[in-house]
Amino acid sequence: MTRNAELKKAVCAEIDRRAAEITAISEEVLRHPETGWRESETAHRVRRWFDGLGLAHEDGLALTGVKARMRGRTSRRSVAVLGELDALLVDGHPYADPTTTAAHACGHNAQIASMIGAGYGLAPVMDRLDGDVVLFAVPAEECIEVDWRLRRREAGDFEFIVGKPELIRIGAFDDVDMAMMTHAGPTVSAPAAAVAASANGSLVKRAAFTGVAAHAGATPWAGANALKAATLAIAAIDAQRDTFDDADTVRVSQILTGGEAVSAVPAHAHMELMVRAGSVTAMRDAADKVDRALRAGAFALGVDVRVETVGGYLPLSVDEPLADLLHDNCVSLFGADAVIRDSGRMGGSTDMGDLGHIMPVAHPWAASGSAAPFHGPGFFTTDHVAAAVNPAKFMAMTVVDLLCEGAERAEQVLSTSGPKLSRDAYLELRRSFDTVTGGIVER
């Protein structure tokens, strides 16, 4: 047995020994969901689990992030294992918080458990690795509650509305060379694991339509209907769909609220939109068409529309050498038939795409036990071994590959990975997405 294989065997044996603890972490987070930027209780739990590992930690990074470093015998390179703290809002989800409707319908509970589990496995062998492992619980991956986030941003709480861009901005990834995390997925798409999938990027919009209120029965002609302007804008967006190249995997999603009382012509309508595509060029192109549609609805009804645009996520490209290592480790655990090497581009998006613009990243998927659609009330992790314990193993095994024997494989990954943006160049790109048009503020 090679030294490397011996280390991996020890790591997996330790994770198996602590499998019940890892499962309990996944279940505990599942039962206490919190949405992005407000994951204070979940962050408190992570601090407790880091304390259990005897690790010092930095707290309150981008409001709720918690970061710990496990030192190797030398610190040549640093590999981060991430877990996302946040939940979604899904009314009717069986594990929803009854007050907030927050629910782990994206399986992030398993990420926290696999991140801690990887730490459990690696802790006894750190003195045989030539690099550090950074365990990092990161905030606000889901891009939801856009209006609330933009108001928090205006109040100065953060600049970017999702977590990893904000962590990059404050320098929290400056001491990390590469990063990985495992996302739980519908079991149908990941028999055991899928190690590489690219993902769309996205731009996010808040559109405020302002018309004129009037009695809806007595003098409706005196009003200007903001809600009808918004629904017309949605029809205009839908009419654009043929103009999107299939290869760009464009998705335009929106939610709409409008009017105050049914007896009055709605003077206000508020729309949140997400415009996704596989490249920055396609994101900008689709967003321009959406802006035209929003203005068209407003023009037709003679109301005003103010459109604010900010960056959501950059498109994700997984680092191929990192994916190769993960693939080999998954195959050794599950067999080749249970592992998908490349599952293509996902129509969804993740801020792991942002991190991938400044360092090599991997974002494998693991089975969750559920075959229900993501983000809906039927999706939650039922198989915590598949979703958390197994990923703890294949991520920890990959860390061993990267950091054993002089961290040679980590050096190889860094030297073969494509060019990356500096932090400043990345921030310049992110800020280039921010625009405000129409309404009271014209820029």
Q: Which is nearer to Zn ion, 106 or 162 (CB)?
A: 106
Pick the closer one to Zn ion by CB: 106 or 392. 106
Q: Least distance (Å) from Zn ion to the CB of residue 33?
A: 12
The alpha-helical segments, DSSP class H, found in 224-319 are 226-239, 280-301
Nearest distance from residue 401's CB to Zn ion, in Å?
A: 26
Query: From CA 137, how far away is CA 114, in angstroms rounded?
Result: 11
Closest CA relative to residue 395, chosen from 333, 312, 308, 318: 333
**Which residue has the CB atom at the shortest distance from Zn ion?**
106
Give the DSSP H or E segment for 391.
helix 390-403
Nearer to Zn ion, 22 or 144 (CB): 144
Query: CB under 5 A: which stretch of 14-22, 103-111, 186-194, 254-262 binds Zn ion?
Result: 103-111
Nearer to Zn ion, 97 or 304 (CB): 97
d(CA 129, CA 112): 23
Residues 6+ apart with CB under 8 A from 158: 37, 62, 63, 152, 166
Q: What are phi and psi of 345, to 5 degrees?
A: -90, 130
Residue 275 C-beta: closest distance to Zn ion, Å: 17
For residue 229, what are the contacts with CB-CB under 8 A and spacing of at least 6? Answer: 209, 211, 269, 297, 298, 300, 301, 303, 305
- The neighbouring-strand residues paired with 208 are 270, 306
Taking the least distance from each CB to Zn ion, the nearer of 274 and 410 is 274
The stretch near Zn ion (CB under 5 A) out of 51-59, 66-74, 100-108, 275-283 is 100-108
Q: Which residues contact 39 (CB under 8 A, 6 or more apart)?
A: 64, 85, 86, 139, 140
Residue (34 or 285) nearer to Zn ion, CB: 34
Nearer to Zn ion, 8 or 363 (CB): 363
Q: Pick the stretch among 75-83, 101-109, 207-215, 362-370 that binds Zn ion (CB under 5 A).
A: 101-109
Minimum distance, C-beta of residue 413 to Zn ion, in the bound complex (Å): 24
Interface pick for Zn ion out of 15, 96, 106, 172 (rule CB under 5 A)? 106
Closest approach of Zn ion to the CB of residue 276, in Å:
13
Backbone angles phi, psi at 428, to 5 degrees: -65, -45
Interacting residues with Zn ion between 114 and 173 (CB under 5 A) = none
Site string for Zn ion, 13-52 (x = CB under 5 A): ----------------------------------------
**Cβ of residue 108: shortest distance to Zn ion, in angstroms?**
6
- Nearest approach in angstroms of CB 374 to Zn ion is 6
Nearer to Zn ion, 210 or 350 (CB): 350
Which residue, 106 or 307, is less far from Zn ion as judged by CB? 106
- 25/114 Cα distance (integer angstroms): 9
Q: Which two three-digit tokens encode residue 231?
A: 């629904």
Minimal distance, residue 347 CB to Zn ion, in Å: 12
Per-residue binder mask for Zn ion (CB under 5 A), 52-91, x = binder: ----------------------------------------
Q: Is 205 helix (H, G, I), strand (E, B) or coil?
A: strand
Structure-token pair, residue 435 = 């625009």
How big is the site for Zn ion, counted in residues (CB under 5 A)? 1
Q: How many CA atoms, within 13 angstroms, populate the side-chain half-sphere of residue 266?
A: 20
Q: How far apart are CA 433 and CA 312, in angstroms?
A: 9
Nearer to Zn ion, 106 or 403 (CB): 106
Min CB(348)–Zn ion separation in Å: 7
- Residue written as tokens 């280390």? 7
CB of 380 to Zn ion, least distance (A): 12
Binding segment for Zn ion (CB under 5 A), chosen from 99-107, 131-139, 284-292, 321-329, is 99-107
State the residue for tokens 């589990």. 117
Q: Which two tokens stand for residue 347?
A: 């129509």
Selection from 434, 400, 368, 437 nearest residue 79 by Cα: 400
Where on the chain is the footprint of Zn ion (CB under 5 A)? 106
